[in-house]
Amino acid sequence: PRIISGGRSIYTYNEAADLLNTRYHVPNTINIFYLDQIGNQELSSFACGISTFPFASTPESRFIIMQKGCSVNGSTLAHEIGHFFGLLHTHETFRGVEFVDGTNCETAGDQICDTPADPNLAGTGLSGCTYTAGFTDPNGDLYRPDPSNIMSYAAASCRRKFSQEQNAMMNFWYDTELNYLLRSCDFYPDYAIAANREDLDVASGQIINLPFTFNYLGDGRPEKVALEILLESATDVIPFVIFRDSVLFDGTSGNIDLSFDVLIPLSRSSGIYTLTGRLDPSGEIIEQDKRNNSSFIQLTIDNSRYSDALIFPNPANEAIKVFLRDKSLTGEVFFEISDLYGRQYTSVKNFKSKEELFVELDVRELNYGMYILTLYFELSDKTRSFLFLKE
């Protein structure tokens, strides 16, 4: 699997065909796209997936879309793959209603004779996984459907099997119209990353060395693969990218040990975070398995070593860092640098939303001498002032 970044969470079937399958289709495979929601469908309230059929499509236009919330129910993906391999619903009526006595089973319904006629089990007629309703076919015969058939609309937990003739139908399409499908993807390369640390304790603004082991299994072609390192807390909506680089795989299968010096941002306050090393973050490379493209490290940021109000280094040369710990002071804060005569040289606005604030200010343009750094909080009459020397 791979993650497609920058897209939407809701696609209609036609939009998925145009915007996803056309752009990201991998030849000779079953292309399955997982979405937050399938939009603009008459049955969208319970349509967990939609698939193309082999008899009404071309190889490059075939794909499956799945609502990701349905991917764990055990049978929906199998149901859509059944469609992909030519199976109809057991309650299909497009070519006529199938009779319970089976006299038209080859031409009506799902056109398969070892699946009993089905009145459509979507939300009705079942007690658990047992059919109890009294619906009759056009001849007046009581339906006796099979809720365990994967191609029915019984509850997902009831569906567990294909019939023998359904298996034969799928094999027919696999041997004919779908014979281009690969039996394995072993010829694609595979890139993996594993962190050599499980947890770290650091402070904001600290540079840490992160060692990783990278593994390559492939076709012998060299490849430069993008690497991102992300930092996120449990409350972050989007992970924060704190490092970008690339790893050169020379085409030789095996391990590569590399380490990277990574700066922990000053903007991250004390707390528990997850560091993620991720190969090919944009999902551009087709490979055997995308699940091994990420590795995780638990990171604890602990700024208790700093006093409640601190500037450093002092004397300063190119930059000066300001640390402030005070729960009572939040909102917009202004940093002003002036000389001892009151002449202002720098004014920078920031925002303090948590207990801690950590900021770096550029002082390269200042001349040698003594300066005053003052913090003004917009929602408070409190100020903080520091004296520092610019070298």
Q: In this model, does residue 284 exceed pLDDT 90?
A: no
* Whether residue 196 is found in the same domain as residue 297: yes
* Beta strands 190-195; 223-232: pairing state: unpaired
Can you tell me the distance from the alpha carbon of 215 to that of 20, in angstroms, rounded to the nearest whole number? 29
pLDDT the model gives residue 139: 97
Q: What is the pTM of this model?
A: 0.63
* Whether residue 167 is found in the same domain as residue 272: no
pLDDT the model gives residue 304: 87
Q: In this model, does residue 207 exceed pLDDT 50?
A: yes
Higher-confidence position of 6 and 124: 124
Summarised one tens digit per residue, pLDDT across range 210-240 is 999 999 998 788 999 999 999 999 888 889 9
* Whether residue 201 is found in the same domain as residue 179: no
Classified as helix, coil or strand, 53 is coil
* Whether residue 53 is found in the same domain as residue 173: yes
Structural domain that includes position 30: 1-87+162-183
Summarised one tens digit per residue, pLDDT across range 164-191 is 999 999 999 999 999 999 887 777 899 9
Tokens of 282: 């944009």
Summarised one tens digit per residue, pLDDT across range 22-56 is 999 989 999 999 998 888 755 444 578 999 999 98
Secondary element (H or E) of residue 77: helix 76-84
* Whether residue 251 is found in the same domain as residue 315: no
Strand segments, DSSP code E, in 264-382 are 271-279, 294-301, 309-312, 319-325, 331-339, 344-352, 356-362, 369-377
Average of pLDDT values for 154-158? 92
Domain total in the chain: 4
Write down which residue in 107, 139, 155 finishes a domain. Answer: 155
pLDDT band per the 50, 70, 90 thresholds, residue 339: very high
* Whether residue 68 is found in the same domain as residue 99: no
Residue with tokens 């304790």: 201
Q: DSSP class of residue 312?
A: E
CATH of the domain at 290: 2.60.40.10
Pick from 52, 47, 53: nearest CA to 70: 47
Higher-confidence position of 346 and 163: 163
Summarised one tens digit per residue, pLDDT across range 105-121 is 999 999 999 999 999 99
Tokens of 389: 């020397």
Average of pLDDT values for 260-272? 91
CATH of the domain at 172: 3.40.390.10
pLDDT the model gives residue 21: 94
Write down which residue in 235, 266, 301 finishes a domain. Answer: 301
* Whether residue 314 is found in the same domain as residue 204: no
Q: Which of 70-74, 287-291, 339-343, 354-358 has the lowest mean pLDDT?
A: 70-74
Secondary element (H or E) of residue 164: helix 164-175
* Whether residue 135 is found in the same domain as residue 30: no
Q: For the chain, what percent of residues have pLDDT higher than 70?
A: 97
pLDDT the model gives residue 44: 45
Q: Can you say how many angstroms the Cα of residue 205 is from the centroid of all Cα atoms in its chain?
A: 28
